[in-house]
Each structure stands twice: as C-alpha cells, then as structure tokens.
Amino acid sequence: MSTRSLLWCGVLAGPVFLGSWLVQALTRDGYDPARHPISLLSLGDLGWVQIATFVASGALLLACAAGLRRVLRPGRAGTWGPVLVAVNGIGLILAGVFVTDAGAGFPPGAPEGAPERISWHGALHEVGFAATAASWLAVCFVLRRRFVAEGRRRWAVACLLAPLAYLIVAAWPHLDSLSLRLVAGSAISFGFLAAVALQRAAALSAESGTAQSDTSGTALSAQSGGHRPTSQAGR
C-alpha cells in the first residue's frame, strides 16, 4: 500500500466514525444523542453497526500510523508520533470489541441512570476509551516538536489549540450536554489527525514533484553533455 494511501486512511477515519454516529443517532429507536453516549450504540440488535464503526475507524488510524512512520522518520516525532497514533487506533478497536454496559435507558428496557456495577468488558471498554484520549493528547505535543523544528509556526500553534479546545469541551461542567460534547471532542481529535495526514500527504507530493524535476533536469544535462564530444569530434 502506498504511503499516500496510508495517510488518506487517517483522513477517512473521522468521516467514517462521525458519519456512522449521525446515521444511527437519527435512526436508532430510543437513542437520544443529547443524553446517550456514542458507546451505547454498541448495544442492542443493531449494536454490531457501532462495533464495526469502532473497529473500522481504529484500523484506519493504524494504517495512518504506518504512513506517518514512513514520512516522519528520521527526525523528531518519527518514532513516538506514529506509535501514539497507533495506540489511538488500538484504543478504538478495544472500545469496539469490548462493549460498554447498558444504562441511561438505552437500549430500550435498560435501567435509567448509570449501571450499578461495571462488567469486565465495560471496564476494558473504558480502558480503550482512555487510551484513545490520552494518546491523542500526547501526539499533539509530540508532533508540535516536529513542526517547530521544521519552522511551521501555524502548525505548532494548532498543536496547542487543538488539545486546549478538546479539554475545554470535555471539562465543561454541564452534565446534560456530556454526550454531545463527547461527539464534539471526537470531531476535534479526528479532525486534527486528518489535517496532519493531509499536510504530510501534500508535503510528500511536493517532494515527489521536486525529485522528478531534478531527475529530468539531470537527464537533460547528461544528454546535452553526451552530444558535445561527438560534435567536437566532427569538427
């Protein structure tokens, strides 16, 4: 798989995740996006849709991590940047494989409020979610070091603003909006990774174009140089 294709997997992860949530939020019976977290969509007869969404989005981020490894190495963030993006993807896969516990009245018939106890798979789901959040916050600061070294000031600032916005959304005190804020946080995290993947893909294209121009120029110079001795000999 080409490096550019791997990077584009990171661009697609967000639309896959958020697009699936939107369709399910509008069609799943009993689901209220204002009060039901995304994870609850993994439950019920159609829970497989959200499970597949978690796994597919995580797999796309794993592919993106492989692409980032190719374009960032050697150099700053060349090791930890891709590793943290991979952890982000693995966390999503864990969150999909190990479903959360029913609560808040969803799926229909489930008790209202938080579950009385957390099951083993519910605990592993939370571990996956925590790994995803922590690795994303960490990768922002790791990538910032790379952008600073490259002199990309705007990108370096974005690496600070994105986690700041994420933390503000997550820490907002009103519990009634928690579910929608989790969606907003997901949009911020996926959007940031997509932007980085696009930036690196564009840089890769620019480098390829420059390399081709240099190769063509060298070939033309070689051809011109190769004709000179023949011309002089003819004289």
| In-domain check, residue 86 | yes
Residue 31: inside a domain, yes or no?
Answer: yes
Burial 12-24 (b: 16+ CB within 10 A, else e): bbbebbbebbeeb
Rounded CA Rg of the chain: 24
234 inside domain: no
The C-alpha atoms of residue 88 and residue 136 are separated, in whole angstroms, by 6
pLDDT of res. 198? 95
Q: Is the pLDDT of residue 210 over 70?
A: no
Number of domains in the chain: 1
Tell me, yes or no, whether 182 lies in a domain.
yes
- In angstroms, the Cα distances linking 219 to 42, 124, 212 are 58, 58, 10
Q: Looking at the domain assignment, is residue 231 inside a domain?
A: no
CA–CA dist 235, 229 (Å, integer): 10
pTM, full prediction: 0.86
Range of the domain at 93: 3-225
Q: Tens digits of per-residue pLDDT, 108-139?
A: 988 888 888 999 999 999 999 999 999 999 99
Give the residue-averaged pLDDT of 191-207. Answer: 91
Mean pLDDT for the stretch of residues 21-33: 95
Asked if residue 12 belongs to a domain, the reply is yes
User: How far from 175 is each of 25, 104, 181, CA to CA, in Å?
Assistant: 19, 13, 9
Tell me, yes or no, whether 183 lies in a domain. Answer: yes
Is 235 inside any structural domain? no
Question: What was the pLDDT predicted at 232?
Answer: 45
